[in-house]
Structure 1
Amino acid sequence: MEKKFFIFNKKVYYNFFIKERINAGLILKGWEVKSLRLNKATIVNSYVTILNRKIYICNLNISPLKTVCNYVKCNSKRMKQLLLKKKEIEFLQNYINNKGFTIVVLGLFWKKSWCKINLAIVKGKKKHDKRNILKKKIWNIKKIRLLKKSI
């Protein structure tokens, strides 16, 4: 079953090679959930850090609604904790420490009434890698056009 992302990070596929994908839960406040329901979030520069055996997401910007009460302090860039099992946290920590990978956010999606986040273990692409991938895409498009004309 394919997930339907309501917020998606397109730049990940361009800038990184994706090794693994993991789904995780988010610990959110009430106003954050309401804002996410209205797609008021950006994940372009967000990344994951591990502090004291807990995983946090940084730079996930959720903008507060205008209707939020004044007595609630809305910190839109606070570090949000992710919900993962211990084995998954150790797996991610091994990748970061030993193999030089990074964890970035692919997208946010709803599973029933819960907001989930799709994480990816990635390694950065170099300039020549990006060029080769673009050349392959262009060649595939030309190949399909040639096959359509010949048939």
Structure 2
Amino acid sequence: MDKKIVSTNRKAFHEYEILDRYDAGLVLDGYEVKSIRQGNVNLTDGFVSFKKDEAFLENIHIAPYAQQSTHVQDYNSRRKRKLLMHKQEIVRLYHRVREKGLTLIPIELYFSEHGFAKINLGLGKGKRTHDKRESIKRKEIDRELRQEHKARNR
């Protein structure tokens, strides 16, 4: 059994140049895990913040679980969620983000082979608009070349 990807942040590859990737666990409530298993999660505007020696995933949307019990009334779908990483790794990432102007963003949310919810984080540098246009042009050229190659092989 391999990892089961639940959600990906495709906007991250358009907005950022991903330099490095890290995996981390998440501290979630039971009904949040059930909602994630149903695919009710959006990583688009998420980012990682640091406080003391802890890392928090902020601004990701986990929709309320439909069959959730009624005792959970003040559910905040965009609350801070603590990341489970080694302390040295958190400190190293904090210094890289602070010094070099990089950003730590969620790339994909998945369940590990043991059933734990994990998040793949990317250390990225923001692209400027001309870089975004350039990458779009490059993708279009590659797509056209693949189509021509496919047409020739018929």
| TM-score in terms of structure 1 length | 0.90
Per-residue CA deviations over 1:119-147 (Å, capped at 9, x if unaligned) read 00001111111121122222223334445
What residue identity is the alignment partner of 2:20?
A: E
Identity of aligned residues (%): 32
Take 2:23 and 2:151, find their aligned partners in 1: how far apart are those partners?
43
Per-residue CA deviations over 1:23-45 (Å, capped at 9, x if unaligned) read 00000111111111111111110
Unaligned runs of 5+ in 1: none
Per-residue CA deviations over 1:51-94 (Å, capped at 9, x if unaligned) read 12100011121111232122124222221100000121012111
The answer as to 2:116 corresponding to 1:114 is yes
1:71 match: secondary structure: coil
Deviates most, 110-119 or 64-73: 64-73
Deviates most, 106-115 or 129-138: 129-138
Q: Tell me the number of residue pairs that the alignment of Structure 1 and Structure 2 aligns.
A: 151
Flag the 1:31–1:137 CA change in 2: closer, same or farther, 3 A.
Answer: same
Flag the 1:148–1:37 CA change in 2: closer, same or farther, 3 A.
Answer: closer
Name the counterpart of 1:139: 141
**Two-structure CA RMSD over aligned residues (Å):** 1.9
Unaligned runs of 5+ in 2: none
Flag the 1:146–1:35 CA change in 2: closer, same or farther, 3 A.
Answer: closer
Flag the 1:3–1:19 CA change in 2: closer, same or farther, 3 A.
Answer: farther
What residue identity is the alignment partner of 1:128?
A: H
Deviates most, 93-102 or 141-150: 141-150
| TM-score in terms of structure 2 length | 0.88
Take 1:31 and 1:150, find their aligned partners in 2: how far apart are those partners?
52
Name the counterpart of 1:71: 71
Deviates most, 62-71 or 41-50: 62-71
Take 1:46 and 1:90, find their aligned partners in 2: how far apart are those partners?
20
Deviates most, 127-136 or 102-111: 127-136
The answer as to 2:22 corresponding to 1:22 is yes
